[in-house]
């Protein structure tokens, strides 16, 4: 996580054509945005493509950022737009394709019982996309409710509601895992 004011300064310098600032932003925020795409169920290859596409768009529209405004919602709003656009195009393409046989929907991988849950993707996999992105922004990117509301073009109330529902689902899932772990431990 990075200080918001540092990012603001880097962004202002990036707008002035400072290559070092642009590179610093790419190295600081690139991994964070990459994880955002990974958490949204994109494969690693897709996440790489989305990250590249996002940065090209950020570069094109960098003049739309205004100093003094929160930086992260600006970045995430663009990243979100690219992701939605990407899936819309993918749906259009796959809609025209005719599958040769029925492929079963992959089930969400159960959290690892032995080492606890360390894989964020697996942990958040059962949540709907809208809840996943809210949890990712709040808990992983460290954004405030207000910032998440700005990035997702919604209200603080709606963000709170999604986070609440996501926590309820996670609680249910993690309690189940803990119970299973307990049983496994009992029998072992």
Q: Does residue number 22 form part of the binding site for another protein (CB under 8 A)?
A: yes
- Rg over alpha carbons for the chain, rounded to the nearest Å, is 19
Dist. CA 146–CA 160, nearest whole Å: 10
Distance of CA 34 to the CA centre of its chain: 8
User: What is the pattern of x (binds another protein, CB under 8 A) and - over residues 47-86?
Assistant: -x--xx--xx--xxxxxxxxx-xx-xxxxxxx-xx---x-
Candidate ranges 2-10, 18-26, 93-101, 102-110; the one touching another protein (CB under 8 A): 18-26
Query: What is the DSSP code (8-state) at residue 62?
Result: G
As measured in angstroms, the least distance from the Cβ of 112 to another protein is: 11
Residues numbered 120 to 159 that lie near another protein (CB under 8 A) are: 120, 123, 135, 139-140, 146, 149-151, 153, 155
Phi-psi region of 107 (alpha: psi -120 to 50; beta: other; left: phi over 0): beta
Half-sphere exposure of 175 (CA within 13 A, CB side): 6
Dist. CA 121–CA 4, nearest whole Å: 26
Which residues of this protein are in contact with another protein, per CB under 8 A?
Answer: 15-17, 19, 22-23, 26-27, 30-31, 34-35, 38, 48, 51-52, 55-56, 59-67, 69-70, 72-78, 80-81, 85, 116-120, 123, 135, 139-140, 146, 149-151, 153, 155, 167, 170-171, 174-175, 178
């Amino acid at each position: 996580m990075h200080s918001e004011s540092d990012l603001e300064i880097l962004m202002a310098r990036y707008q002035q054509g400072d290559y070092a600032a642009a590179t610093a932003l790419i190295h600081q925020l690139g991994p964070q945005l990459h994880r955002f795409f990974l958490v949204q169920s994109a494969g690693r290859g897709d996440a790489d493509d989305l990250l590249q596409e996002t940065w090209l768009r950020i570069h094109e529209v960098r003049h739309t950022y205004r100093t003094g405004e929160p930086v992260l919602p600006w970045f995430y709003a663009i990243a979100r737009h690219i992701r939605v656009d990407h899936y819309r195009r993918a749906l259009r393409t796959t809609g025209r394709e005719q599958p040769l046989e029925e492929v079963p929907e992959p089930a969400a991988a159960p959290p690892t019982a032995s080492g606890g849950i360390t894989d964020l993707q697996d942990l958040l996999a059962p949540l709907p996309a809208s809840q996943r992105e809210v949890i990712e922004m709040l808990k992983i990117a460290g954004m405030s409710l207000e910032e998440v509301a700005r990035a997702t073009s919604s209200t603080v109330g709606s963000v709170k509601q999604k986070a609440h529902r996501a926590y309820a689902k996670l609680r249910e899932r993690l309690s189940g895992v803990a119970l299973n772990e307990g049983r496994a431990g009992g029998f072992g």
